[in-house]
Amino acid sequence: MPVSAATARLSRRPVLSRVRLSLLALLLATPVLAADPAPRRVVSMNLCTDQLAMLLAAPGQLVSVSRLAADPRSSAMAQQARSYPQNHGQAEEIWQMRPDLVIAGSYTARATVTLLKRLGVPVLQVQPARSLSDVDKLLRQVGDALGRTAQADTLIADFDTRLAALRAEVRRRPRAAIYQANGYSSGDATLAGEILEAAGFDNVAGPGGGTFLPLEKLVMADPEVLITSVPYPGASRAEEILHHPVVRDIRARSHTTTVLDHDWICGTPHVLEAIAALAETRKALE
């Protein structure tokens, strides 16, 4: 198609009338369609929305997930993600996929999201989960956006049932701490904190959100179980604290091999795997 014809067709669209004729716009082969209730070409560009979309989408509806979704260190659905083309969260590459819905996290890739919106692509921004109850909300939100409300209802019902079953059997609540790179810990008011709570542990980091837990405070709290993150490949000084003799001692006493892995990161039904694994650790302490 000659460039002048494309320009003419573009200029008829009210959404784009505000957009100056950028080089990017000139290069377009096909204009996007307006978002309709059941999008047919969905691109997700955030690790957590990737997993929600994979759980909810109809066959063929989801056309791309982010690169991180295929990384088993961060994604609970890495295997599944490999069957989708990956994106790197860059506006140009996502535009080329001609999506009629982009799902992004609300805090990540803001520049990209702004650019896509200006180009007239419908973007759904999803808040990260801060609690277990957020899992239901997220399933509902993404399910609605994909036009997959029934699938969302099924997943929500299943999640609630399994969560209730895991919560049921707690007798003693041992003290536990989450300890990650740089001495970062999670209080009760975080997803990780609620996972601890649901699995029957008391969190020594106390109420509140994410916080740096000084090594000294960790020693004073003397947790029975210490849950650390899996070291990434390649050394870093941030993770060196996990090898501090003090941390090693507490870990050696805490009889657990549980680590913060991909099940802890996103508010999806996969958090149940994390809770179940922790519950096993707790039973071993009894």
Partner 1 sequence: MTRGLIPLLLLATLLLALLSLSTGPVALSPLQGLKALLLGGDGPLPVILRAIRLPRTLLAVMIGGSLGLSGAALQGYLRNPLAEPGVIGISGAAALGAVLAIQTGLAALFALALPLAALGGALIAVLVLLGMSGRRAGSLTLILSGIAISALTGAATSLVLNLSPNPFATSEIVFWMMGSLADRSMSHVWLAAPFMALGLILFLPVGRGLEALTLGEDAAASLGIALPALRLRIVLGTACMVGAGTAVAGSIGFVGLVVPHLLRPLVGARPGRLLWASMLGGAVMVLAADVAVRLILPDRDLKLGVLTALIGAPFFLHLVWATRRERA
Query: The tokens of 68 are what?
Result: 């991180």
By C-beta, is 92 or 240 nearer to partner 1? 240
Shortest gap between Cβ of 4 and partner 1 (angstroms)? 44
* Residue 74 CB neighbours (<10 A): 16
DSSP state of 74: T
Distance of CA 203 to the CA centre of its chain: 22
Cβ atoms 216, 263 nearer than 8 A? no
Shortest gap between Cβ of 66 and partner 1 (angstroms)? 14
Shortest gap between Cβ of 222 and partner 1 (angstroms)? 6
**Alpha carbons 31 and 193: distance in angstroms, whole number:** 45
The string of DSSP codes covering 151-202 is HHHHHHHHHHHHHHHHHHT-----EEEEEBGGGEEE-TTSHHHHHHHHTT-E
Shortest gap between Cβ of 60 and partner 1 (angstroms)? 33
Shortest gap between Cβ of 223 and partner 1 (angstroms)? 11
Shortest gap between Cβ of 134 and partner 1 (angstroms)? 24
Query: The tokens of 154 are what?
Result: 């099924």
191: phi then psi, degrees, rounded to nearest 5: -60, -45
By C-beta, is 31 or 231 nearer to partner 1? 231
By C-beta, is 31 or 210 nearer to partner 1? 210
Shortest gap between Cβ of 34 and partner 1 (angstroms)? 38
By C-beta, is 167 or 217 nearer to partner 1? 217
Cβ atoms 178, 203 nearer than 8 A? yes
By C-beta, is 7 or 236 nearer to partner 1? 236
What residues line the site for partner 1 (CB under 8 A)? Answer: 181-183, 211-212, 214-217, 219-220, 222, 232-239, 241, 244-246, 249
Cβ atoms 10, 27 nearer than 8 A? no
By C-beta, is 14 or 234 nearer to partner 1? 234
By C-beta, is 166 or 181 nearer to partner 1? 181
Exposed/middle/buried for 59, CB within 10 Å: 0-12, 13-18, 19+? exposed
